[in-house]
Each structure stands twice: as structure tokens, then as C-alpha cells.
Amino acid sequence: MTNPPDPITCGGANPANYKVRADGGATIGGDVTTWGTFTGSGTAGGTVNNNVCTAAPAAIAMPAFTYSASNYDPTTLHEFGTATTSSATAVSDFQSYLSSHSNQLSGTFYINQSSPVNQDNRIDLTKAVVTGDLNIITNTPIFTNGTTDQTTNAVAILVSTYKPPTGSNCDLNQDKSECAVHLKNNFATSGNTAVLVYTPYGPVAVKNNAIQFGAIYSDSIQIKNNQSLTYDSRIERVVGFGDTTLEVTKWLEVKP
């Protein structure tokens, strides 16, 4: 298919963009229904239905996350900036803390960085080891590189409300590209830790043997090189989403 927009109704986009082409003797085992036409030398094992539009289901809004310090244990809460006042040193202060705690990272960290907020001033969790429940909530990008865990039963939350500049790109092959979260290079938490990644305004890039148990809620997701994601129900009731319970609404198999 040629970069088609998903139709919400069947009256707008061009059906010619929705052709299904099977070349080289390819065989589709079941029925084929397309808004365009079925073309190529391949075959379909079932019925071919050309020029049939199936309207997309109604859009579902992403759950809204709201930070409140009162939701978290005050003995393990670290704020770099507050919900009402940003800090010019929020990121550097967090990174300074991390430099002496990278092998034992747990607790809640709220990082509200004042402008400029960009890929040169972001949270960097390179080789950090998660050892307990972890919440990282920030308005900056998050970069992970070889992050692992040593836990028995923990939930780790990565929330980035970073909104990339208009017209910018999130590139799986560029560590400084405009992704809200980069899960890179053996981000390998075990099944003992459920991970929720939440980025309502920017993409998540997942590359190079990233292993995760939990879920990703994102503006968009890009995947390359052996991503493994196993849904974990421990992320369904995390604080910050109000009365909302995160749940699976549909299971879909996607091309690896």
C-alpha cells in the first residue's frame, strides 16, 4: 500500500492508495478485502473483495496523566523543579543524583526543566540498574542505554511529556533525533519489573534487543532489531491516571 491515511469514513481518501500487491508467487492464505484492488502475480486462498472500504473504528483518546506529589511516598520523592515552577538545573541535578545511585535506582523523580528543553538537555539512564519501584516523570526526552534491573517485584514508570519541534523526525538510527523516549541498546528489564512508558506528545523509539514487560502508550512507536514486549497487568493501576484503569482493548499481530 502507498502510505495511505486510515479512513475514518469511506468518503475521503483515494482508493488507489489502498491497493494490495502480491508479487513473486506470494500467497495470502485467506480472504482479501481492500478499498483498492488486489494486483500482482500472487494469489489469495480465499475470496478477493476489491473496492470495499472498511471504516476505521472510532478513535480512542489516550489516557491523561497528571502529576501530584501527594500520590507518592514522600520519603522516596525527589523533585527537581515542581509542578508549578520549573528549574534551570532540573536535568543536571537529576543526573548528579544518578551518578551516585546508578546501581540502585528506585523512588519517584519529578524533573521539570525550564527552557530550552531538547535532546541536548535530557534524562540519560545509561546503564542504570532499577532495584525497586521507580517513577520518572519529566517534560524532557528520556534516553535509556543498557538499563537493567535487579528486583523481585517492581513497577517502573517512564513518563515524558516532551513535544518534539514541528517538522522534526524521530529516527531509530540517531540517538539525538526527536523522540520523546529512546529505548536503546539492550534495555533489558526482567519479568520481575513491569515497565510503563507514556509519551502523549512524542514518539518512542525501540531498538537493539530491547526487552520489556509492561506496555507503551505513545503518540507513535518505532521498532527495530529484536524488540520483545510482553504485556504485564501490573501497569493497569498506576497513580496519575485518576479513575482510569489501563486495559487492553484489542490484540493485534504486527509485522516484526
Question: Over the stretch 21-76, which tens digit does the pLDDT of each residue have?
Answer: 888 778 888 899 888 899 988 889 999 999 888 776 777 788 899 999 999 999 99
187: confidence class by pLDDT, cuts 50, 70, 90 = confident
Contacts 24+ apart (CB under 8 A), 3-9: 6/56, 7/35, 7/53, 7/55, 7/56, 8/55, 8/56, 8/58, 8/59, 9/55
pLDDT value of residue 2? 41
13 has pLDDT over 70: no
127: confidence class by pLDDT, cuts 50, 70, 90 = very high
Q: What is the percentage of the chain residues whose pLDDT exceeds 70?
A: 89
pLDDT value of residue 242? 78
- Beta-bridged to residue 214, according to DSSP, are 195, 231
Distance, CA of 198 to CA of 215 (rounded, Å): 9
136: confidence class by pLDDT, cuts 50, 70, 90 = very high
Cα distance between the two ends of the chain: 17
Contacts 24+ apart (CB under 8 A), 97-100: 98/124, 98/125, 98/128
